[in-house]
């Protein structure tokens, strides 16, 4: 299926025209994000924690320590909400009222489970590293059995999802257009600075190409 159905859970109610339900749009946003924000409930209390993740098809995978409270909660099959937001710019209007942010966000819902087989865990871990640093997984020292055993991996099949996107210039009232104030968009982007080498590294090890050309932005 190319799109998620609109349900009471994922329907965009405020500014419905900003809502998107097609998987291509949703996947594109998920794949650009560095971290997601996981919402869960314990004893009627909401919690939100940030964590690194990857999308594998229509499933979200995450990893952490065997003792992680978040992963233990997800693995127990409690319902969770996963949200990601990419901030693309500040929208400066003439009026205070019409100031805004250009953004792309996804909110998705599902219930998770533990990933048990070593081969599945390695596939998920590899996807998570590729999400952050494409090309790195092959180069790094692979996990030992002991390291793999100490790592929990959970998978959350996406049951409901929607995206919300704002793009473009400010939406000032026509009556304000002549207001003598700069109006427009200040684009924002996640950018890499110069890599900082670990001091313990032998001096003849060069900076790999996947770092010198690192670009987070995957917009087309």
* Window 13 to 42, contacts with a second copy (CB under 8 A): 13-14, 34-35, 37-41
Q: Segment 54-93, which members bind a second copy (CB under 8 A)?
A: 64-65, 67-69, 79-83, 85, 87, 89-90, 92-93
47 binds a second copy (CB under 8 A): yes
Considering only residues 91 to 130 of the shown chain, the ones binding a second copy according to CB under 8 A are 92-97, 99, 101, 103, 105, 107, 109, 125, 129
* CA–CA distance, 118 with 123 (Å, rounded to integer): 9
Instruction: Indicate if the alpha-carbon torsion angle 17, 18, 19, 23 is positive or negative.
Output: positive
Which residues in the 180-209 window bind a second copy by CB under 8 A?
180-202, 205-208
To the nearest whole angstrom, how small is the minimum distance from the Cβ of residue 36 to a second copy? 9
CB-based contacts of 30, cutoff 8 Å, min separation 6: 36, 55, 60, 84, 106
Q: Which stretch binds a second copy (CB under 8 A): 23-31, 48-56, 113-121?
A: 48-56
Which of 3, 132, 135, 166 is close enough to bind a second copy by CB under 8 A?
132
Question: In the chain, how long is the greatest CA-to-CA distance?
Answer: 67
Residue closest to 60 by CA, chosen among 84, 25, 40: 84
Length of the chain in residues, anyone? 220
Task: Name the minimum Å distance from CB 81 to a second copy.
Answer: 5
Residue 2 or 204: which CB sits closer to a second copy?
Answer: 204
- Sheet-wide strand order for 100-111: 19-20, 160-166, 100-111, 79-92, 36-42, 45-51
Strand partners, 102: 89
Question: With binding defined as CB under 8 A, does residue 213 bind a second copy?
Answer: no
Nearer to a second copy, 5 or 202 (CB): 202
Which residue carries 């599902």 as its tokens? 110
Q: Which of 72, 71, 73 is nearest to 63 (CA)?
A: 71
Considering the complex, state which of residue 56 and residue 211 has its C-beta at the smaller distance from a second copy. 211
Q: Nearest approach, Cβ of 24 to a second copy (angstroms)?
A: 21
Q: Which two tokens stand for residue 146?
A: 């002991």
**Binding to a second copy in span 140-169, by CB under 8 A:** 140-144, 147, 151, 169
């Amino acid at each position: 299926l190319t799109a998620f159905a609109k349900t009471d859970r994922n329907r965009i109610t405020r500014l419905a025209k900003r809502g998107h339900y097609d998987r291509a749009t949703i996947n594109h946003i998920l794949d650009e994000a560095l971290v997601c924000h996981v919402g869960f409930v314990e004893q009627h209390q909401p919690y939100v924690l940030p964590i690194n993740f990857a999308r594998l098809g229509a499933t979200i995978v995450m990893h952490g320590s065997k003792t992680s409270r978040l992963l233990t909660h997800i693995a127990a099959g409690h319902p969770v909400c996963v949200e990601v937001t990419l901030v693309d710019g500040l929208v400066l209007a003439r009026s205070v009222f019409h100031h805004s942010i250009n953004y792309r966000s996804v909110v998705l819902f599902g219930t998770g489970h533990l990933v048990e087989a070593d081969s599945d865990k390695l596939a998920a871990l590899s996807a998570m590293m590729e999400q952050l640093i494409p090309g790195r997984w092959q180069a790094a020292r692979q996990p030992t059995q002991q390291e793999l055993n100490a790592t929990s991996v959970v998978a959350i099949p996406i049951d409901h999802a929607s995206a919300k996107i704002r793009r473009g210039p400010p939406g000032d009232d026509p009556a304000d257009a002549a207001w003598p104030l700069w109006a427009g968009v200040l684009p924002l982007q996640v950018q890499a600075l110069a890599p900082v080498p670990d001091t313990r590294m032998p001096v003849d090890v060069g900076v790999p190409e996947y770092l010198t050309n690192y670009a987070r932005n995957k917009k087309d």
